Structure 1
């Protein structure tokens, strides 16, 4: 197999509209695709009848697409499929973690734990208003 690249990162969310709005306002993502009540395709991909979803894809100039997906009518336990809100996280590089935390908090995000220092810089986890998790990363100027 030859890997051709990273196409997108997908996060399951609990509130589609809040999540899309948050990532657009907080980080400047641009909405490039949106489909509400997608059924046939998601049923085929997940192997689940009666499943539907709201799906958005957003872009930044220098990275893979961010896909936000709210599953509807799944009737499945979170362990059965990658359906539950907050399954995974997206890591976003910022200039200053403290400043970024203040800005995302003003948009409804909640910090999880403390800003953590590691050899390469600092990071903090947050949960945005729609339910997905993100990590804000600030790297040292010298790379370590």
Structure 2
């Protein structure tokens, strides 16, 4: 039976460098840490069913939005977005894609490919200095 009315508490992405990712999402999008660099100890290993894994996490919030962005760095393991095709990302709706790309690049991000136009708008994937991937999308 489905769980109805379950609220989303946070979105989580894996990163290679937690400190760099926290700095990037703060500078580029205005997120501030509410939980920073927490070592999850053996709790993470128990949750994922692997006794040989450890991780640190940060949770970030934004003063004008309700979402919580969680960044996780797993020791000795690249983030889920580390490969040539990103497996996970966070998408941000922006009013002007060209300006948003320039702002993200000024903070050290780089587009993965080209800007693509869809029926609903234009979009591009970018990788930030800490290793996670995010999408910038301008809706028409």
TM-score range, shorter chain: 0.7 to 0.9
Q: CA–CA distance in 2 between the matches of 1:109 and 1:116?
A: 18
Q: Please report how far the alpha carbon of residue 35 of structure 1 lies from its aligned counterpart in structure 2 after TM superposition.
A: 3.6
- Whether 1:7 aligns to 2:2 is no
* Alignment CA distance shift 1:35-1:15 (3 Å): closer
Question: Paired residues, what number?
Answer: 132
Structure 1 moving runs of 4+ over 4 Å = none
2:59 corresponds in structure 1 to 57
Provide structure 2 residue ranges, at least 5 long, that are not aligned to the other structure: 82-86
Deviates more, 1:48-57 or 1:29-38: 29-38
Contact 1:12 1:84 in 2 (8 A): yes
- Whether 1:127 aligns to 2:127 is yes
Q: CA–CA distance in 1 between the matches of 2:76 and 2:137?
A: 35
- Which structure has the highest strand share of the two? 1
> Per-residue displacement from partner, 1:51-101 (whole Å, max 9, x unpaired)?
211100001232321000000146xxxxxxxx7331400000111111011
> What TM-score results when the alignment is normalised by the length of structure 2?
0.87
> What TM-score results when the alignment is normalised by the length of structure 1?
0.85
Equivalence map 1:10-25=2 (5 Å):
10-25=12-27
Q: Secondary structure at the match of 2:113?
A: strand
1:84 corresponds in structure 2 to 79
Q: CA–CA distance in 2 between the matches of 1:10 and 1:93?
A: 18
1:68 corresponds in structure 2 to 71
